[in-house]
Amino acid sequence: MAGVYLSYPFCAQKCTYCNFASGVLPRHVEAQYPDALIRELASTNWEWAPDTVYLGGGTPSALDPDVLDRILAAVPGSPWREATIEAAPGSFTPEAAGRWVRAGINRVSLGVQSFIRNELARTGRKHTTETVVADVANLRAAGIGNFNLDLISGLPGQTAGSWAESLDWIERISPPHVSVYMLEVDEDSRLGRELLLGGVRYGAGDVPGNEAIADFYETAVERLARIGIPRYEISNFARPGFESIHNLKYWRREPYVGFGSDAHSFNGAERWRNAESAEEYVALSPNARSAAEPSDAAEEKFFVGLRLSEGIDFSPGELARHAPTINRFLTGGLMEQTGSRLRLTPAGVMLSNEIFEHFLNT
């Protein structure tokens, strides 16, 4: 069953590490965006009823509940098997959480990133540990026990001690799902650009080295497993039964349809995307989609499927196409094979980006 992704790219502030097509955008665009999103949803020929919905951003938790009700009412299939909304800590009230539940939301992803005040302040985040604890209590009181907490390893000023403190808070709160991302360095974020230029703005001079960032991540893997939250995907950890149903569609190459600016879609054979900027999307909706392009199933299967701890099953043809690459990594201890199933080893996970590159264009 295809899932639905709803993009809401608006934020109260742009975090220094953020490399998404989101941020503080013109007020008139923000005001017009929900109607543009609803137009696109209403123009869709719904030949299926989605089983999952994911509202990502941006900060969709900042949406007025009445507006959110209108958007979700345009998506068939309620009650959905899983309906997630991303939330910034401190961006919603207990009343809003209750409205989410009545609208069909049953899962929340909180962008915590860190529990350390100085680390948060240097990235532009405005919440505190107390904010997160209060938000979690409000979610549980509203009946949302399925929630995720995000962490980032590699923030400016982060140390082994501060990272351990953030993990201590994870253990105290005891969420069913945790995401741990290693800081991405690229041109699409202010911090990333500063690091590439060798500058010191945005705390770039205090970003931990690559080895330390990897150590933080591996520490999280060990600690989360110890408290019953094992890794099921490179950046995602869950208690059994709380894996993200919607996100598993991406990694298993199952169909999903994206609505809103910069939203991507996949029907099992082709991929397409919407206009990247919110301004362009509002102007073009409901005709903001690019032309569909064929996907390379064999290439993508290795590229996205190997992110999962369960690995992938491969056919004889796929094995023959990638045999030299696979044998190289099996011999080097970066992959392991059981019958027709191939997966990354713990050492392979730490070099996953480099490994994935070898499956491209082969």
Short-list 177, 181, 171, CA closest to 223: 171
Residue 27 buriedness (CB in 10 A; 0-12 / 13-18 / 19+) = exposed
* The pLDDT of residue 208: 94
* The pLDDT of residue 361: 63
- 136 with 147: CB under 8 angstroms? yes
**Torsion sign over Cα 348, 354, 359, 362:** negative
Q: Tell me: domain 3-250, CATH 1.10.10.60, correct? A: no
Token couple for 331: 């011999």
* Angstrom distances, CA of residue 331 to CA of 74, 252, 260, 303, 336: 52, 26, 44, 19, 9
From first to last of the 362 residues of the chain, give the pLDDT tens digit: 899 999 999 988 878 888 777 777 889 999 999 999 999 999 999 999 999 999 999 999 999 999 999 999 999 999 999 999 999 999 999 999 999 999 999 999 999 999 999 999 888 888 999 999 999 999 999 999 999 999 999 999 999 999 999 999 999 999 999 999 999 888 778 888 888 889 999 888 889 999 999 999 999 999 999 999 999 999 999 999 999 999 999 999 999 999 999 999 999 999 999 999 999 999 999 999 999 999 988 788 888 999 999 999 988 888 888 889 999 999 999 999 998 899 999 999 999 999 998 887 66
The CATH code belonging to domain 296-362 is 1.10.10
Q: SS3 for the chain, per residue?
A: CCEEEEEECECCCCCCCCCCCCECCCHHHHHHHHHHHHHHHHCCCCCCCCCEEEEEECCHHHCCHHHHHHHHHCCCCCCCCEEEEEECCCCCCHHHHHHHHHHCCCEEEEEEECCCHHHHHHHCCCCCHHHHHHHHHHHHHHCCCCEEEEEEECCCCCCHHHHHHHHHHHHHHCCCEEEEEECCCCCCCHHHHHHHHCCCHHHHHHCCCHHHHHHHHHHHHHHHHHCCCCEEECCEEECCCCCCHHHHHHHCCCCEEEECCCCEEECCCEEEEECCCHHHHHHHCCCCECCCEECCHHHHHHHHHCCECCCEECCHHHHHHHHHHHHHHHHCCCEEEECCEEEECHHHHHCHHHHHHCCCCC
* The pLDDT of residue 264: 97
Which amino acid, 23? G
Could you check whether the bond before residue 286 is cis, i.e. omega within 30 degrees of 0? yes
Locate the domains of the chain by residue range.
3-250, 296-362
Q: Say how far apart CA 178 and CA 170 lie, in whole Å.
A: 8
**Distant-in-sequence, close-in-space partners of 257: CB < 8 Å, separation ≥ 6:** 2, 3, 4, 5, 44, 50, 265, 267
